[in-house]
Chain A
Amino acid sequence: MATLEQPKVRRAGRWFDVRHRKIGMWAYALNRITGIGLVVYLYLHLVVLSTLSRGPGSWDAFISLARQPYFLILDVILLAGILIHGLNGIRIALTSFDVGVKRQKALFSGLMLVALVALSAAALKIFGG
């Protein structure tokens, strides 16, 4: 019998294919991307924090790096990831217990709006000082 199945790893690309799909698929893809990104960040963060064990000298060097504008932009991207993942996580937690299922699309839009507002406020504070 003819089959045309690609290996699973290639098919995994479809997790992020939002073409012809609705907003719930965006929620799924974003949650997965931010989740993976945050795991990577977690370990980066733990490695960076090891400079603290080497005394004030190395930590101060890191602080001056952390104040650079490009670093602050990375901070904003990180915050975006945290907000998207956390707020969509609330939607997932609620729908998982059969709450808000009929309004899940509006719930996603509303929560992402909150994320946008929070992110904007944070970005202002980060760059405004």
Chain B
Amino acid sequence: MKSLDITLEIFRYKSGEQPHYDTFTVQVDDTAHVIDAIDKVWAEHDHTLMFRRACHHSSCGSCALRINGVEKLPCITRFSDVGDGKIPLRIEPLRNFPIVGDLVVDVSGFFQRMSASDMSITRDAESTLPLSVDDLSTIVQPKVVELPDNLTHFNRFENCIECGICMSACPTMAVDNKFFGPAGLAAIYCALQKTDDPDEKAHLMALANGEQGVWRCHSAFECTEACPQAVDPAGKIMALRRELTANRLKKAGRS
């Protein structure tokens, strides 16, 4: 384990000020990750630096940003992946989100899209499941959760950590504020697989079928390339198109 001198050129912006880059150099272990260097900049050099970080293991999606122009999760990006200290690291916020300050972007629009796809984990289901191994025998009597026929195991977790990297990489999101976006459309596809309710299915399909739904995607596939969690949003958008088309043909066949 050796020590590395890492130079970071960090994008700075506060309301009313001119955007600019500040350069900092910090010492980190070569086994650390880029987020640790950003942490050190805050701790040792500039307490006014705004950034998001939480889990440090790519499951919360909070820290997503650009390193030398490429969208990454800095909590799992090793220095050896980004030049090993031999080149400065340009740290910038995600594209296509309004900037709150420095590296922090406004994700409210993003979460509006995600909640429209109804992807939140429901507390109702969770409260009937054992909270821990100790609870199993003592406090809580776990209710058996009925699984739909087509699910072989309880499919509570999705690959998507809602980090917003796909939205940053998407060329349509660059200009179109109304586009549902790769994350939201992938979420619609996942939600479709989890329900048998025909009304909910119809609602989800309708959300995807508008001008600002799947049809604003122009097959760049950058979302799939950039995604750190193998969600493959572009693949899901194309699968959604297939479903929508099949549905349309079925309706046309019946009328």
Direct touching of A and B (C-beta under 8 Å): yes
Chain A interface (Cβ within 8 Å of chain B)?
1-5, 8, 11-12, 14-15, 19-22, 24-25, 27-29, 31-32, 91-92, 95-98, 101-102, 104-105
B222 CB contact (under 8 Å) in A1, A12, A21: A21
Is B32's CB within 8 Å of the partner chain A? Answer: no
Q: Which residues of chain A have C-beta atoms less than 8 A from B239's C-beta?
A: 98, 101
In the complex the two chains form, is A92's CB within 8 Å of B69's CB? Answer: no
In the complex the two chains form, is A14's CB within 8 Å of B15's CB? Answer: no
Give bound CA distance, A99 to B83, whole Å.
38
List 14 additional contacts besides A22-B225, A101-B235; criterion CB under 8 Å: A1-B100, A2-B14, A3-B100, A4-B98, A14-B175, A15-B174, A19-B69, A21-B220, A22-B222, A24-B219, A28-B171, A29-B171, A96-B241, A101-B239
Q: Which residues of chain A have C-beta atoms less than 8 A from B169's C-beta?
A: 21
In the complex the two chains form, is B225's CB within 8 Å of A14's CB? Answer: no
In the complex the two chains form, is A24's CB within 8 Å of B13's CB? Answer: no
11 intermolecular pairs with C-beta atoms under 8 Å apart = A2-B16, A4-B19, A20-B70, A21-B169, A21-B220, A24-B222, A25-B171, A28-B171, A92-B219, A96-B241, A104-B219
Interface of A is mostly: helix
Is B221's CB within 8 Å of the partner chain A? Answer: yes
Give bound CA distance, A24 to B13, whole Å.
32
Closest A residue, CB atoms, query B176:
A8
Given A4-B19, A4-B99, decide whether A97 and B171 contact each other with a Cβ distance below 8 A.
no
Closest A residue, CB atoms, query B95:
A14
Closest A residue, CB atoms, query B215:
A96
0/1 interface trace, chain B 213-255, chain A, CB 8 Å (1 if under):
0000011111001000000001100110110010000000000
In the complex the two chains form, is B235's CB within 8 Å of A102's CB? Answer: yes
Q: Which residues of chain B have C-beta atoms less than 8 A from A29's C-beta?
A: 171
Interface size of B by Cβ–Cβ distance < 8 Å? 31
Number of A-B residue pairs having CB atoms within 8 Å of each other in the complex:
85
Q: Which residues of chain A have C-beta atoms less than 8 A from B99's C-beta?
A: 2-4
Give bound CA distance, A77 to B19, whole Å.
41
In the complex the two chains form, is B174's CB within 8 Å of A95's CB? Answer: no
Closest A residue, CB atoms, query B93:
A4
Is B22's CB within 8 Å of the partner chain A? Answer: no
In the complex the two chains form, is B174's CB within 8 Å of A11's CB? Answer: yes
Give bound CA distance, A4 to B102, whole Å.
11
Interchain nearest-CB distance for A11 vs B (Å): 5
B221 CB contact (under 8 Å) in A8, A12, A31, A104: A104
In the complex the two chains form, is B220's CB within 8 Å of A96's CB? Answer: no
Instruction: List CB contacts (< 8 Å) of B63-78 with chain A.
Output: 68-70
Q: Which residues of chain B have C-beta atoms less than 8 A from A28's C-beta?
A: 171, 218-220, 222
Give bound CA distance, A21 to B171, whole Å.
10
3 shortest A-B CB distances, which residue pairs?
Answer: A2-B15, A24-B221, A28-B220
Is B130's CB within 8 Å of the partner chain A? Answer: no
Give bound CA distance, A8 to B171, whole Å.
12
